[in-house]
Amino acid sequence: MPALVVRDLYKIFGKIRAVDGISFEVREGEIFGLIGPNGAGKTTTLRMIATLLQPSSGNIEVFGLNVLKDGAKIREMISYLPEEAGAYKNLKGIDYLIFMAGFYARDHQEKKKMIERALEIAKLKDRINDRIRNYSKGMVRKLLLARALMHNPKLAILDEPTSGLDVINSLEVRNFVIDYARNGTTVIVSSHNMLEIEFLSNRVAFIHQGRIVESGSPPELRKKYQAENLEQVFVKSISHSD
């Protein structure tokens, strides 16, 4: 059974088709990249998968559960990191993690393990004891990623996970995402940074003006379009679809 099945998905805001009849599947345990420019429909798609937006039409199933009928059960097994997420600025980083672990953990021991895992992901060292309002954007992003992955979700939905991070921290985050997938977590990652997604993903789908224009593994797509990288593939796939 696939981890995620999206079929004929539409989201219409007034006269705008933000998502225009897309279909794709994500296999269990893989990292699947949803790539496209800003405004292409990536975030709208992720928010529907995360049960935060209701589709105008179409179907989404997460591990066999329907997002419209089984939203509460789906939210127990997924985690969603929005691109523009925030944290409680007056809390210390460690207190934020303790607070968030309380929503997931069933007992004190599980809560302790979640916090330890989050600290390992965030890698903020002594700064974890500072108030979040004193963090840089990159530090906040790492704290939020730790929150998203601390409870080992079955499906992690990450929208621009390295937004605001420098090269070294971005590499750390990408390696953590890869490790989580190796340990069984299915990951959907969205970005307009196609080279980053090429490094991360087992398979990708290009979204343009609300439609999927191409999908496959990075090596397959590079070969098909005789391209050096996914940026070139994207440009060529758009020209072929017009």
Nearest to 186 by CA among 12, 5, 45: 5
- How far CA 45 is from CA of 53, 172, 231, in Å, comes to 9, 26, 21
3-state secondary structure of 46: helix
57-88, pLDDT tens digit by residue? 999 999 999 999 999 999 999 999 987 767 78
Domain ranges of the chain: 4-241
Which of the four CATH numbers 2.40.110.10, 2.30.30.90, 3.20.20.20, 3.40.50.300 does domain 4-241 have?
3.40.50.300
Q: How far apart are the first and last CA of the chain?
A: 34
- What average pLDDT does range 138-154 have in this prediction? 90
In this prediction, residue 192 carries a pLDDT of: 80
Q: Which alpha helices (DSSP H) does the chain contain, by range? A: 42-49, 71-77, 93-104, 108-122, 137-149, 167-182, 194-200, 218-224, 230-241
List the strands of the sheet with 16-26, edge to edge. 16-26, 4-13, 57-62, 65-66
Which residues is 158 bridged to in the sheet?
A: 81, 189
Report yes or no on whether pTM surpasses 0.95: no
